[in-house]
Structure 1
Amino acid sequence: MPEEPVPSPQDPDLVLYEVDEDGVAVVTLNRPERRNAWSIPMERRFFALLDEAAHDPAVRVVIVTGSGKAFCPGMDVERLEQNARPGQSLNLRARVPMYSRRDMPKPMIAAVNGACAGIGLVQALICDIRFAARGARFTTAFTRRGLAGEYNLPYVLPRVVGLENALDLLLSGRIFDADEAKDLGLVSRVVEPADLLGAARAYARDIARSCSPRAMAVVRHQVYGDLDRTFTDALARSYSAMEYFAGSPDFREGVASFMEKREPKFEGLPPDFDPAEATRDAFLPY
C-alpha cells in the first residue's frame, strides 16, 4: 500500500494546539467536516504535538479533545474502503506506534465531547483520565467491520473495565453512552456538553498548579510499568522512588507550602527528565 503523504506546513489545522499560562496544553483533533475521522496525516501531526508537549518545560498537563460535536468516530471511511479492497495489506511499519505515549512524562486527560469509536477510542484510552460529555457515544466497532481487536485494545480494555465488560464491548461492538461508560469505569466523569472542556481544564489547572511535575511523571511511570510486575517487584520500585524523592527540592517545597498554607512552586519538568531513574535501582529495605 503506498504511504500517505506527510502533512505539509500548510496543514497545521488538522490538529490544533494551545498552551495556557498554567501550563495546560489542549490538543484538538480538528476535521469537523469529517467529524474528526482519523487519517494518517492527522495521526502524524497528533503524535508530533504530543512529543512537543512532552519536551516543553512550560507544559505540565495535556488535554486531548475534538472540535465540533465528535471526539473521533474512528478511521476515515475512505481509508477503510481502501484497506478493504481485495489483495490490500496494511503498511503498519510506516505508522506511529499507538501506545508509544505510555512513556509520556506528563498527565493526559481526554475530554470526550462526542462520538468515540475504534481508533478514536484508542486515543481516549492512551490518556490517563477521561471526562465525557453526557450523551457522547462509544463503541469498539471492530467486529462490526469484520476486524479483530486492533491497536492492542484487547490488552488495554480489560485492564480498564475488567475481563467480562471488555469481552462484552469487544465481541459485540455495541454502542454505549457516556453514563454507561462511567458505570463501566471507562470514564471517570460525565458532565453536560457545554461544561466539558471547562471541567477538564479546571482539573488540569489544579494539578498543574498543585502537583510536582517530577512526582507526576514518576507516578505515571510506576503505574504503567507495574501493570505486569509482581507485587514484590513493584514494592521494591516503590521504595526506590521513596528514597529518590526524600530530601529532594520538590519534597521540601511540598512540605513547606503545606505548612505555610500557600500554593507550591514546583519547577517545570526538564526535557531530559527520565522518570525511570527514580526506580532503576529498585530495592527492599528488609
Structure 2
Amino acid sequence: MNYEDNTFAWVDTSDAVPPAALTRLLFEADDGVATVTLNRPDKLNAVDAVLRHELSAVLRWCDAADEVRAVVLTGAGRAFCAGSEMTQSGFGGTANARAEPEWIAPYQVRKPVVAAIQGAAVGLGLTLAMQCDVRFVAYDAVLSLPFVRLGVTAELMGHWNLVRHVGLGRAQELLLTGRRFTGAEAAMWGLAVSALPTEQVLPRATALAREIVEHAAPVAVATTKRLLWETGDLGPFEHARRERLVMERLLDRPDAHEGVTAFLEKRTPAWTGRPSTDLPAFGEDSA
C-alpha cells in the first residue's frame, strides 16, 4: 500500500539478492515453496532492527525470484512472534523503521504468503501475520493486540485488517481491551482459516503452498492476490470494472490458452508467465 497516495502498488525488487548470512531468520526453498522462519526462539522471535532488515531482504528476494511460487512464514520454537522487542529505550526496531526504504510487506509480495502460527502471536507478531494472505494457527496459541496496554496503537494496518477479518464489533473489543484470545477463537471469528494441533500447523501451511505451486498459474495467482487486497479500497462496481479489465488482459496470454488446453487434455499445465515481467497493468500501473 502506498500510504502517501492511498493506492496499492507493487514494490520494485529488481535489485534483490539471494538470502545470505542470516542471523535472525532461517530460509529454505524447495521446488517452488520458500519457508521463512523467524529464528530468535530465546526471545520468542521478537522483532528487532536486524530481524526486520533480514525479513525485508528475504521477502524482497521471494518477490523477485520467479522460481519462488509461494512463501510460508513461521517461527522457531514455541512462538510465532512476540512482537517488537522492548528495551529501556523503547520498542526494538521501531526507531529504525523509517530508515528502511527497502521494506516490503507480505501483502506486496507477488506470491501467496501463508502464515503458520504455531505459537504465540502478539502485537506486531499478529499484525504481521494479518498482512499474509492465509493463516493457520494452533488451537492453543495465545494471540493478542496489546497496544493500548503499552500506551500506543496497532501498526502494520492492524486496525484495517482486523476489522476486515472479524468485523467492527469484535475488532473494537480486541483492540480497545488488548486482551488475549486463543487460536481456536481466531479461527472461529475468521482471523485464521483453521485452528489445528500445534504439530500440524506448519505441515498444513506448507501443503497449501504446495497446492498453489502445483496447480495455479503464477501470473494469475499474483493478479488474484492484488485484486483481493484491493477489495477494501474499491466499491463493488469499481472493483467489477477492475476485474473485467484485468481478465481481458489475461485472456490473450499464453497461460490462459494453456490452462484450457491442459484441462481438455487432462494433463498438468505448463505455465510460462512470470510474475517478475508478465503481470497485467492495473489502472495506475504503466506496465
TM-score w.r.t. the length of structure 1 is 0.86
- The yes-or-no answer on 1:83 pairing with 2:90 is yes
Q: Which sections of structure 1, spanning at least 5 residues, go unmatched?
A: 1-8, 282-286
Query: Counterpart of 2:137?
Result: 132
Q: Distance in 2 between matches of 1:153 and 1:117?
A: 12
Matched, 1:141 2:146: yes
1:255-274 to structure 2, matched below 5 A, reads 255-267=260-272, 269-274=274-279
Q: 1:35-54: per-residue Cα shift (whole Å, max 9, x none)? A: 11111100010011000000
Give the aligned partner of residue 35 of structure 1.
Answer: 44
Aligned position for 1:247: 252
Q: Structure 1 233/54 Cα, relative in aligned 2: closer, same or farther at 3 Å? A: same
Percent of aligned pairs with the same amino acid: 35
How far apart in 2 are the matches of 1:211 and 1:55? 18
Q: Would the aligned equivalents of 2:48 and 2:84 in 1 still touch at CA under 8 Å? A: yes
Q: Is 2:26–2:39's contact at 8 Å kept on the other side of the alignment?
A: yes
In the alignment, which of 222, 231, 241 is matched to residue 226 of structure 1? 231
Q: Aligned partner of 1:200: which letter? A: A
Is the 2:120–2:143 Cα contact (8 Å) retained in structure 1?
yes
Moved more, 127-136 or 149-158: 149-158
* Matched residue type, 1:219: T
> Deviation of residue 13 (structure 1)?
3.0
Alignment of 1:173-252 (within 5 A): 173-252=178-257
1:254·1:264 contact (CA, 8 Å) conserved in 2? yes
Preserved CA contact (<8 Å) 1:238 1:279: no
Q: Distance in 2 between matches of 1:208 and 1:76?
A: 34
Secondary structure in 1 matching 2:191: coil
The alpha-carbon distance between structure 1 residues 50 and 229, as it changes in their structure 2 partners (threshold 3 A), is same
Cα deviation code 1:149-178 (max 9, x no counterpart): 333312221112110111111011111111
Q: Distance in 2 between matches of 1:34 and 1:261?
A: 50
1:20 aligns with 2:27: no
Distance 1:280 1:218 in 2: 15
**C-alpha deviation, 1:245, in angstroms:** 1.6
Contact 1:98 1:151 in 2 (8 A): no
Q: Deviations over 1:196-242 (max 9, x none)?
A: 11111111101111001100111111121232112221111111112
CA–CA distance in structure 2, aligned partners of residues 220 and 245 of structure 1: 15
Distance 2:53 2:22 in 1: 11
Structure 2: runs of 5+ lacking an equivalent = 1-18
Bigger Rg, structure 1 or 2: 1
Matched, 1:71 2:80: yes
1:69 CA drift (Å) = 1.0
- 1:58 is the counterpart of 2:67: yes
| Separation in 2, partners of 1:10, 1:63 | 18
Ranked by relative contact order (alpha carbons within 8 Å, sequence separation 6 or more), the top structure is: 1
- Cα RMSD after superposing both structures: 2.2
Name the counterpart of 2:177: 172
What secondary structure does 1:58 align onto? Answer: coil
Whether the 8 Å contact between 1:142 and 1:149 is mirrored in structure 2 is yes
Q: Contact 2:123 / 2:146 at 8 angstroms: preserved in 1?
A: yes
Displacement of 1:99 after TM fit? 6.8
Count of residue pairs brought into register by the alignment? 265
The alpha-carbon deviation at position 279 of structure 1 amounts to 5.1
Moved more, 255-264 or 166-175: 255-264
**TM-score, length-scaled by structure 2:** 0.86
Q: Aligned partner of 2:73: which letter?
A: V
Aligned equivalents of 2:104 and 2:233: distance in 1?
Answer: 16
Tell me how far 1:148 sits from its aligned partner: 2.1
Deviation, 1:121, is 0.6
Partner of 2:53: 44
